[in-house]
Structure 1
Amino acid sequence: MKKLLLLLVMSCVGGYVMAHGHEDDDDAKRGTIEGIVLTSDGAKAAGVTITIENTNYNTVADDGGEFNFKMLPGTYTLVATYVGYAPTRQEVTVEEKKTVHVTLRLNLTKSELKDVIVYSKRNSYKINHSSSTLRLDEPLLEVPQNIQEVSAVALADQGITSFGDGAIRNVSGATKLEHWGDYTRINMRGSRASEFRNGMNVTSTWGPLTADMAVVDRIEFVKGPAGFMMSNGEPSGIFNIVTKKPTGVTKGEASVMVGSYDFYRGAIDLDGKFDKDNKVQYRFNIMGQSAGSFQKYGYSDRLTIAPVIKYQVDDKTDITAEYLYQYARMQDGGAAYVYSPTGYGDLPRDFTTAFEGIEPLVLKDQSLFLYLHHQFNPNWKLTVQGGYLNTNKQGSNLWPDSLGPGGKMRRAISIGDAINRSKFAQVFFNGKMQTGGIQHRILVGLDLGDKDNYYDWGQNQILDDDAHLFDIYNPGSGMPYNGLPVFDRSIDLLQRAAAAGTYTSQSYSGVYLQDELGFFDNSLRLTVAGRYTYVKQNDYGTSYDAKKVTPRIGLSYTIDPNTSVYALYDQSFMPQSGLLRGNKSPKPLTGNNMEIGVKRDWFAGRWNTTLSAYRIIKNGALIADPDTSGGNQDLKYSLQLGQTRTQGVELDIRGEIVKGLNAILNYAYTDSKVTKDLDPTKVGTKVTGFSKHVSNGWLTYTIGDGALKGFGVSAGYTFLGDRSTWSWATSNQKDLPDYFRMDGGIFWKGEKMTVNLNVNNLLDRYLYSGAPYGNFYYYQVEAPRNYKLSISYRF
């Protein structure tokens, strides 16, 4: 990997020298046209085509309405065009080695543009810029890292209503392991990916509640360490869920959805302004859902309410307040699991160990976000944001106390209450400046976070006695012989957690500085950054802290306006609980990522490819100290010797391949192994929880003309090859079989209405994931072939 990294760097510099060492004097004199497209009402206009008259130069304004050209000195005419509207022309003079700024104004109102953009964006899978919550104020093509954006359009086309339903099919290498129904854990590049909401790290051991897509504007996947977002976490990457905000354009959408297993859903999205001056804007989303299950006794009901208010103080400053309430009521947390003494998949898909009358799992999730943006001038911007999240969970967890070889199970159930509270504060500056011939993109940030988690698992009850065991092969009604469980909640959960020691907390503070230096008219960009992070944790009564400076170095080179190559070195760390001999605390687990890649936009930016190769080394993993000569007192000690290496290749393709055909295609090869361990026999063994081969695809074709205009078909698949289980190899280890799922649908998209029928698991395959557990196996089953029919109306 070092050789590949060195080769890429040398190729970038060498390529530049060769290309420019022999360039003629005219090319050396090129200047830059930087521009922005606005509507007649002053709104930024994305997707507008800009051409230079009487030349072959053309581009498309990005999500911020911005564009640029590099031209020889002279006078040119810029032409901005949008489907169905008269072109706008403006003359501009380019001087040698200078930058000229241009503002093009389309002669149409935001309301008129909205009708065109809304219709156009329904077919848009490609996003050119990250959200402001990701802090990177530059095109994704120039960022020295693999970042994939998943649009709300793609999620809607696939019929995805919750993040756990399959949103990860839109990005390479992400896998979902079995989960408890109320939250989703995603693995990427060999370990868990941290979950962010609007740029804030909400990751906890269990939680938060899975985000509903009714409030989601986009999902951003950042591969590898994200030093500009965090440093205290796994080096695999993050996913950032960006919620909907007011746009200042009055519009709305109402939708209904019905589906298999008594699935019913309704949602309304209102976007607009309270006053004529557009100073006070709003966004309001509400969603209600009721669903049964293919498993007996299964159900899930959800409610989401999300009001957002934005106040435009003046042309430079805005303030936004966002509240989100999510309520979920579903079956017991452990009821989705299937258990077998012989292996996976040997019981009917509707099997469950649950029974009628078991108390529901109830979750109440509330969050409040505040944002302030201030634009000092065209080059410097300040963002201040904060958040508060509170998740309250009350329920139980059903689990086997024992399972014999003949299928006789003694079931047990435990209370499963939890409270998660998190507070965040962030301040960061984005700036642009120039020193001599060097351009600078500067990011300076301060992060503060505090998380508190309270749990109660201390009340357990046995449901079946030895004379009346539950038979998994003949379950009957499943009613427990010992009766329904009863838990005592007369004492507040915080007091119960304090008494049992089932409390965890984490507080952290971090300071971050990054400078991206642009050379040779910003065609070669060097990113130099560092972050200082201090973390203090308490894990079930054990307190410890850690601090570390993590560097970040990136190199990106623009080969042509549509192609860039990059190299990256980034670090992360994660504090660990434990005790070493001499009563010393262990050092944090550290992760080092080296990555190279190439990004390219094709056919005037209609679609994009990203190809990357990476290697992540994790050092300092704890293992149990094998020296137990001192008796039981030695069992508390650990050794810090472990190392793992994860490396692989990832390919992502997204966008409009040809007119009417949108595609999302990806593939990832992941190899994750133990490279150092006290036990030599473990060296070379797999790290659990990933698949060596992961490939996804989603295609939609829409007829653009004729009597069938707006009709279309869709098809998608997910393949997981060489799957590892959740836990380490045991004496009864059995590998999971390869996984293949195909989905498809038909739809019609009009100017105001969309009708979409999606059929999941078209081949009706028995699909599951699981792992060995003691002397038996557990697994979770996916639904048989099922459908969802949605009808939405825009107004």
Structure 2
Amino acid sequence: MTLSPPRRTMAPARAAALALLATSALSVITFNPAPAYAQGAVTYDIAAGSLSGVLNQFARQSHVELIYDAPLTQGIASNGLKGSYGAVEGLSRILSGTGLTYRQTGANTFTLERAPAADARTVQLGPVQVEGAAQGAADSAMARPDAVPGIKGYVATRGAGATKTDTPLIEVPASISVVTHDQIVDQDAQSVSQALRYTPGIVAEQRGINEDSLEYLYTRGFQARSFLDGLAIPFSGFNVATRDAYLIDRVESVRGPVSVVYGQTPPGGLVNIVSKQPTTQPLHEVFFETGSYGRARGGFDLGGALNGSGTLSYRLTAVGMTTGTQTAYVRQKRIAVAPAITWKPDDRTSLTVIGNYQKDPEAGAFNYVPAVGTVLPGKVAIPRSLNTGDPGYDRYRKEEESIAYRFEHSFSDALRFRQNFRYLHNSQTIHHVGDGSSYDTTGTALTRIAYNNFGTVDAVTLDNQLSADFATGPLRHKMVVGADFQNTQFDHHLYYSRLDGLNPANLVIAAPVYFQPVPEPNFLLGSSTRERTQQAGIYAQDQVSLGQLTVVGGLRQDWAGTHSLSYKDGSVTDQNSHALTGRIGAVYRITPWLAPYVSFSTSFQPQAGNTDTGAPLKPTKGKQVEAGIKIQPGGGKSFVTLAAYDLRQTNVTVSNSLYTGSVTQTGEVRSRGVEAEAHAWLTARLQLIGSYTHDEVKNTSATANILGKAPAGIPQDMAALWLSWDLPEGTLPGLKLSAGGRYVGGSYGNPTNTFRVPSYTLADLGVQYELGRAVPRLSGVLLGVNVSNLFDRTYVTCTDLTYCTFGQGRQVLASLKYRW
């Protein structure tokens, strides 16, 4: 008898290679499919090919065990499997017309055999379970052909963000959220920050309207690192990448330290943005959107096979936008395009190349206001529309281009190699008047200075992974070993004020006068540098299963170096560091849908500079203990996570009194809290997203002025709720109604906690209607209206007394899409 994936002994050469990479020797390894519980419907995109190859792919994706004699499938071709099916129905469709049938011999085990001679052209069908949760999407003409396995509507049950392996989320001992494509569309998110508004543990818009161009995401009290398709996005100065939400498929938030597989990352976690991928199924969409502030936005999303065999497929997505903003005289303009192509010569090999170009000739607001007059009383109240700069001088523009590829090859059904690569170039220019403005002696006008920032980033990132599924006795392993490399060069000049003391004229808040002469700043800041940072790392991780218990453990060694040339004085600084990080966690599935977990993980981040003694600064280190429970009832119709954590970052730099600017590394920041999240199909047509966060962040070791204080801009409590209802056929078919509310608790407005920023609650609405349900000749036409901040609530975010921003007021957007 043969298993699919078939049992086989690893060839000596492959065993030696794996032993070398995993730094452990395994004499005899037998491959087995990983244990799994029966899932609900899974979306398949298995191309036509040999029956054995199709069955092997089906077994891996559905997590069932297939037993059959190898000669049984020899010489038989299969049409593959495309669409969403339960395991029984999917297997039945694959075997239809092959002369084979099956018997279910265990909860997840099926034995294949020849069909009775009298009925050799058919297959005996087992009971087929129709997943009601998918009904709302399945009976819709708007269902997309690029559906992702493990995702139905707002509910995701699988992901690779935490482990770099495609794993059921219920088996990962970490807190993970997935913002699905359906959620992005239904909420009409315009940016990654907006897509994360309903996600726990994430402060998505700490900088208010600036988040449209500067995505400063904070998770569990620390700034999060952003990744694109599993590779780090450089974050250098104000060279912050911002991707239009139309170009992305979904967003993964992995909370807690993840350095073990990603290298230098903050202890709070990461955000992984997943690009739209090529699809072999035809996909065609064009759209236009308009709304508040004269917004005009349009684009297209095309995909499909490029040849009859389906070995070549593509995706071409583009978007353009021009709009005013709530800040006077400030506009946003954007053009972006993302081409992608996949070559898949056989079932075991694929190469995907993805390009990206985005230009923001007007990148929106770079506009701060002081706390006095906004959240604190002042002689005058600052209106939400005030531009503290000067439109005759201010410029904020960005441009980014990148090329990436993902190569995958399966040496067998259980041994796979992946290589991800990307080159990225980013440039930005900021001219601004009024950065960090304060009041003059009258208390009614703002004193201002000019600020110029020019920066470019060039980054090369490479990640090699070898993964294997195998068994050692009763233990089943999913192992990944890898080596990655990053090289980033950041070149930037910063000018502030003038050496002769000439500054722009003060701005009278009640009667601002713009288009005044602005003396060009000529004071070069000492932070102007050309900086090259390199990091190399090797890592190994094993997910070991024994019955209902899964243990995930890993280790990583990193080496990082920075070479910096100061444009201020020509000095050169070289700094090197290394770190060993790790993770250990366990999940126990009490039932197929209930799994408590516990984990311990660490992280590190290199730092530039020296201590009082002249020694190079050590990397900051993070460590976290987390415990929680994951609930996945209804065969994937819902997913609930409850988590409690204690997270600490050490080696934090703190000021010393020896001399101005002197520092030591005695600081510590502690983040302790709980998170709850639910994504669920409450009925066949009603979906829910709910989240709650309680996060207490404090400086537990620091200078006296901030000791015991909370970092600025981090609310202690947040909550969100979103409901979406597809109206049934008997009422108004094709109409979807959505509504949500977001609560963001109060936070301290500066590091010394001398004032607080009030809490706020915002309401959002969404309506979509498929015109083809009422008028058949308009099939494929979708109308949508979304309103964010329905009641036009004015709210402010602050990180210091002179660095506050208004949040986005009410925004109404109407869209028209056509899919065919």
- TM class by smaller structure: 0.7 to 0.9
- Equivalent in the alignment of 1:404: 440
Letter of the aligned partner of 1:68 in structure 2? V
Q: Distance in 2 between matches of 1:197 and 1:380?
A: 25
Task: Tell me the matched-pair count.
Answer: 712
Stretch moving more, 147-156 or 462-471:
462-471
- Equivalent in the alignment of 1:433: 470
Please give the TM-score of this superposition, normalised by the length of structure 2.
0.80
Instruction: Render the CA deviation track for 1:305-340: whole Å, top value 9, x for unaligned.
Output: 111111112221111111100010226753x32236
Q: Distance in 2 between matches of 1:354 and 1:106?
A: 70
Instruction: Render the CA deviation track for 1:650-703: whole Å, top value 9, x for unaligned.
Output: 001113121211111100100111222353x64422233311001112111111
User: Is 1:394 equivalent to 2:395 in the alignment?
Assistant: no
User: Is 1:162 equivalent to 2:185 in the alignment?
Assistant: no
Contact 1:161 1:214 in 2 (8 A): yes
User: Is 1:635 equivalent to 2:660 in the alignment?
Assistant: yes
How far is the alpha carbon of 1:768 from its aligned partner? 1.7
Q: State the SS of the aligned residue for 2:155.
A: coil
- Equivalent in the alignment of 1:515: 542
Q: Distance in 2 between matches of 1:283 and 1:767?
A: 40
Alignment map for 1:734-753 (pairs within 5 Å): 734-749=755-770, 752-753=780-781
- Identity of paired residues, percent? 21
How far is the alpha carbon of 1:143 from its aligned partner? 0.9
How far is the alpha carbon of 1:359 from its aligned partner? 4.7
User: Is 1:249 equivalent to 2:276 in the alignment?
Assistant: no
Q: State the SS of the aligned residue for 2:174.
A: coil
Instruction: Render the CA deviation track for 1:347-390: whole Å, top value 9, x for unaligned.
Output: 11111123343353221110111110001111111101100110
- Equivalent in the alignment of 1:728: 751
Alignment map for 1:671-682 (pairs within 5 Å): 671-677=696-702, 679=704, 682=706
Q: State the SS of the aligned residue for 1:157.
A: helix
Please give the TM-score of this superposition, normalised by the length of structure 1.
0.82
Instruction: Render the CA deviation track for 1:591-640: whole Å, top value 9, x for unaligned.
Output: 001111111112232111011111101111111222x3xxxxx4353222
- Equivalent in the alignment of 1:492: none
- Equivalent in the alignment of 1:51: none
Q: State the SS of the aligned residue for 2:660.
A: helix
- Equivalent in the alignment of 1:80: 88
Q: State the SS of the aligned residue for 1:339.
A: coil
Q: State the SS of the aligned residue for 1:168.
A: coil
Change (3 A) 1:431 1:664: same
Stretch moving more, 147-156 or 780-789:
780-789
Letter of the aligned partner of 1:761 in structure 2? N
Q: Distance in 2 between matches of 1:100 and 1:755?
A: 48
Choose the corresponding residue for 1:545, options 559, 572, 576: 576
User: Is 1:68 equivalent to 2:64 in the alignment?
Assistant: yes
Letter of the aligned partner of 1:126 in structure 2? V
Instruction: Render the CA deviation track for 1:522-577: whole Å, top value 9, x for unaligned.
Output: x1112221000111124655431111111211111111111211111110011223
How far is the alpha carbon of 1:34 from its aligned partner? 8.6
Alignment map for 1:29-108 (pairs within 5 Å): 41-42=47-48, 65-68=61-64, 80-81=88-89, 90-92=101-103, 94=105
Contact 2:196 2:204 in 1 (8 A): no
Q: State the SS of the aligned residue for 2:144.
A: helix
Letter of the aligned partner of 1:624 in structure 2? S
Change (3 A) 1:434 1:635: same
Contact 1:319 1:371 in 2 (8 A): yes
Contact 1:409 1:471 in 2 (8 A): yes
Unaligned runs of at least 5 residues, structure 1: 1-30, 45-60, 72-77, 489-495, 629-633
Change (3 A) 1:225 1:105: farther
Q: Distance in 1 between matches of 2:762 and 2:629?
A: 29
Q: Distance in 1 between matches of 2:373 and 2:626?
A: 42
Alignment map for 1:689-768 (pairs within 5 Å): 689-725=713-749, 727-729=750-752, 733-749=754-770, 752-768=780-796
- Equivalent in the alignment of 2:490: 453
How far is the alpha carbon of 1:173 from its aligned partner? 3.8
Q: Distance in 2 between matches of 1:709 and 1:120?
A: 23
Q: Distance in 2 between matches of 1:102 and 1:325?
A: 52
Change (3 A) 1:484 1:469: closer
Change (3 A) 1:90 1:67: farther
Q: State the SS of the aligned residue for 1:261.
A: helix
Change (3 A) 1:333 1:536: farther
User: Is 1:378 equivalent to 2:403 in the alignment?
Assistant: no
Stretch moving more, 155-164 or 425-434:
155-164
Letter of the aligned partner of 1:386 in structure 2? F
Unaligned runs of at least 5 residues, structure 2: 1-34, 51-56, 68-85, 115-122, 127-137, 567-571, 774-778
Q: Distance in 2 between matches of 1:519 and 1:602?
A: 22
Change (3 A) 1:638 1:113: same
Contact 1:333 1:395 in 2 (8 A): no
How far is the alpha carbon of 1:410 from its aligned partner? 2.9
Alignment map for 1:177-192 (pairs within 5 Å): 177-178=206-207, 179=210, 181-192=212-223
Choose the corresponding residue for 2:603, options 547, 569, 572: 572
Contact 1:454 1:497 in 2 (8 A): no
- Equivalent in the alignment of 1:787: 812
Change (3 A) 1:331 1:644: closer
Q: State the SS of the aligned residue for 1:235.
A: coil
Letter of the aligned partner of 1:728 in structure 2? P
Alignment map for 1:405-420 (pairs within 5 Å): 405=441, 406-420=443-457
Instruction: Render the CA deviation track for 1:42-72: whole Å, top value 9, x for unaligned.
Output: 499xxxxxxxxxxxxxxxx99974143899x
Letter of the aligned partner of 2:814 in structure 1? L
Q: Distance in 1 between matches of 2:747 and 2:393?
A: 34
Q: Distance in 2 between matches of 1:352 and 1:96?
A: 65
Choose the corresponding residue for 2:249, options 214, 217, 237: 217
- Equivalent in the alignment of 1:316: 348
Alignment map for 1:6-405 (pairs within 5 Å): 41-42=47-48, 65-68=61-64, 80-81=88-89, 90-92=101-103, 94=105, 118=144, 124-131=153-160, 135-178=164-207, 179=210, 181-205=212-236, 206-330=238-362, 334=366, 336-339=367-370, 341-344=372-375, 346-399=381-434, 402-405=438-441
How far is the alpha carbon of 1:485 from its aligned partner? 5.3
User: Is 1:504 equivalent to 2:531 in the alignment?
Assistant: yes
Instruction: Render the CA deviation track for 1:132-185: whole Å, top value 9, x for unaligned.
Output: 896123211111111111111101100112223353323444342214753210
Instruction: Render the CA deviation track for 1:697-721: whole Å, top value 9, x for unaligned.
Output: 2111111212401212111111111
Contact 1:753 1:792 in 2 (8 A): yes
Contact 1:332 1:395 in 2 (8 A): no
Q: CA RMSD in A?
A: 3.7
Q: State the SS of the aligned residue for 1:507.
A: strand
Q: Distance in 2 between matches of 1:389 and 1:105?
A: 53
Change (3 A) 1:466 1:393: closer
Choose the corresponding residue for 2:506, options 465, 469, 490: 469
Q: Distance in 1 between matches of 2:504 and 2:175?
A: 58
Q: Distance in 2 between matches of 1:96 and 1:327?
A: 53
Change (3 A) 1:468 1:225: closer
Q: Distance in 1 between matches of 2:298 and 2:263?
A: 39
